[in-house]
């Protein structure tokens, strides 16, 4: 079954982390479709009392420049993907003048386009910080995002596999399904499913059930047993445990749910210190987050 990703593009040709992560991650590219997406900055609004032939021309000129910058960025990103082995028919570009904020435009496109994931490059952190500005769009995001997000910060092309973090929550189950779907056709990648034990709140039975359930789901998705490993890890600092495991075993991606159960490891994922620590300090791997 075809995988379809929305990959956001920056005008900075030296910052195509999202594009390069996708290009390196998929060994089997035939069933992966990419839509490269760029939202062009809209010129400042010219109000009725300020409209003159000169101000209108200036606004139109700024719009043309913004769109031209976007086309150039999209062309460079597409060229990169084709060089990395994607076929031209599997890579399309989408350029639009910004409708709302950059974050809201991405969310709207990700939702209406029914993409399997939305992939952000190194600017993803600043976009997410903007998204949680209470005066802008926090209310929108709290309604729930219906697609996984991949945050790509300094990916290492020599890594492979996914470190899948589970805790028995619905968010983690969402990510389990996503990982199974993404990795099934690609023998390059292994999956290590971990659950972090943190004090009495995480009982052995709950941990074992979470690991077993996740493994069964990955198997049902078609990933063979020899590519799946499960392990319970201990540690009081959840983020540090995850970062250590990702670094030592050189995983290409760390996959988590947005919210945990009760006081679990990913409660209010984007709002807490765990998420910020993971994104700011993760090196070489992308961070996958499910609603």
Domains observed in the chain: 3-151 (3.40.50.620), 157-290 (3.40.50.620)
The whole-number pLDDT of residue 60 equals 78
Give the Cβ contact number of residue 60 at 10 Å: 12
Q: With a cut of 50, say whether residue 137 has pLDDT above it.
A: no
Q: What is the mean pLDDT of residues 269-290?
A: 73
The whole-number pLDDT of residue 53 equals 66
Calculate the CA dihedral of residues 263, 279, 159, 172 and round it to 10 degrees: 30
The whole-number pLDDT of residue 33 equals 97
Q: Which one has a higher pLDDT value, 142 or 287?
A: 287
Q: pLDDT-derived band of residue 46, with 50, 70 and 90 as boundaries?
A: low
- Structure tokens belonging to residue 170: 């619905």
Q: What is the mean pLDDT of residues 117-142?
A: 56
Q: With a cut of 70, say whether residue 276 has pLDDT above it.
A: no
Q: What is the mean pLDDT of residues 157-172?
A: 89
The whole-number pLDDT of residue 13 equals 59
Q: pLDDT-derived band of residue 205, with 50, 70 and 90 as boundaries?
A: confident
The whole-number pLDDT of residue 165 equals 92
The whole-number pLDDT of residue 103 equals 79
Distance of CA 59 to the CA centre of its chain: 34
The whole-number pLDDT of residue 7 equals 95
Phi and psi torsions of 217, nearest 5°: -65, -40
The whole-number pLDDT of residue 273 equals 56
Q: What is the mean pLDDT of residues 123-131?
A: 55
Q: What is the mean pLDDT of residues 156-174?
A: 90
Tokens 């999202």 sit at which residue? 18
Cα separation, 134 vs 122, in Å, equals 23
Helices 204-220, 170-183: inter-axial angle, 10-degree rounding: 30
The whole-number pLDDT of residue 267 equals 39
The whole-number pLDDT of residue 20 equals 93
Q: With a cut of 90, say whether residue 249 has pLDDT above it.
A: yes
Q: pTM value? A: 0.86
- Percent of the chain whose predicted confidence (pLDDT) is above 90: 45
Among 247, 245, 254, which Cα is nearest to 279's? 254
- Structure tokens belonging to residue 122: 């190194």
List, in sequence order, every residue forming a beta bridge with 255; answer none if it has no partner: 164, 288
The whole-number pLDDT of residue 106 equals 87
Q: Which of 11-20, 64-73, 138-147, 213-222 has the lowest mean pLDDT?
A: 138-147
Tens of pLDDT, residues 54-109: 766 776 788 888 899 999 999 999 999 999 999 999 999 999 998 887 878 888 89
Q: With a cut of 80, say whether residue 47 has pLDDT above it.
A: no
Whether 39 contacts 98, CB under 8 Å: yes
Whether 96 contacts 41, CB under 8 Å: no
């Amino acid at each position: 079954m075809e995988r379809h990703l929305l990959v956001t593009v920056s005008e900075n040709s030296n910052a195509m982390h999202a594009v390069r992560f996708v290009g390196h991650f998929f060994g089997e590219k035939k069933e992966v479709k990419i839509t490269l997406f760029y939202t062009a900055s809209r010129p400042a609004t010219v109000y009725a009392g300020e409209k003159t032939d000169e101000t209108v021309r200036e606004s139109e000129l700024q719009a043309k420049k913004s769109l031209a910058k976007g086309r150039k960025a999209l062309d460079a990103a597409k060229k990169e993907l084709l060089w990395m082995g994607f076929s031209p028919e599997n890579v399309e570009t989408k350029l639009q003048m910004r409708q709302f904020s950059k974050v809201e435009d991405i969310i709207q496109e990700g939702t209406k386009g029914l993409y399997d994931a939305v992939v952000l490059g190194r600017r993803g952190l600043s976009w997410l910080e903007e998204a949680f500005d209470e005066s802008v769009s926090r209310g929108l995001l709290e309604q729930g995002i219906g697609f996984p997000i991949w945050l790509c910060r300094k990916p290492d092309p020599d890594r492979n596999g996914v470190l899948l973090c589970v805790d028995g929550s619905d968010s983690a189950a969402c990510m389990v399904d996503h990982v199974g779907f993404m990795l099934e056709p690609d023998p390059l990648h292994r999956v290590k499913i971990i659950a972090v034990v943190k004090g009495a709140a995480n009982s052995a039975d709950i941990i074992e059930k979470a690991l077993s359930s996740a493994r069964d789901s990955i198997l049902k998705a078609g990933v063979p047993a020899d590519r799946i490993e499960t392990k319970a890890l201990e540690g009081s600092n959840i983020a540090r445990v995850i970062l250590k495991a990702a670094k030592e075993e050189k995983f290409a991606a760390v996959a988590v749910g947005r919210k945990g159960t009760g006081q679990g490891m990913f409660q209010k994922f984007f709002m807490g210190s765990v998420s910020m620590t993971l994104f700011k300090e993760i090196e070489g791997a992308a961070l996958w987050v499910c609603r």
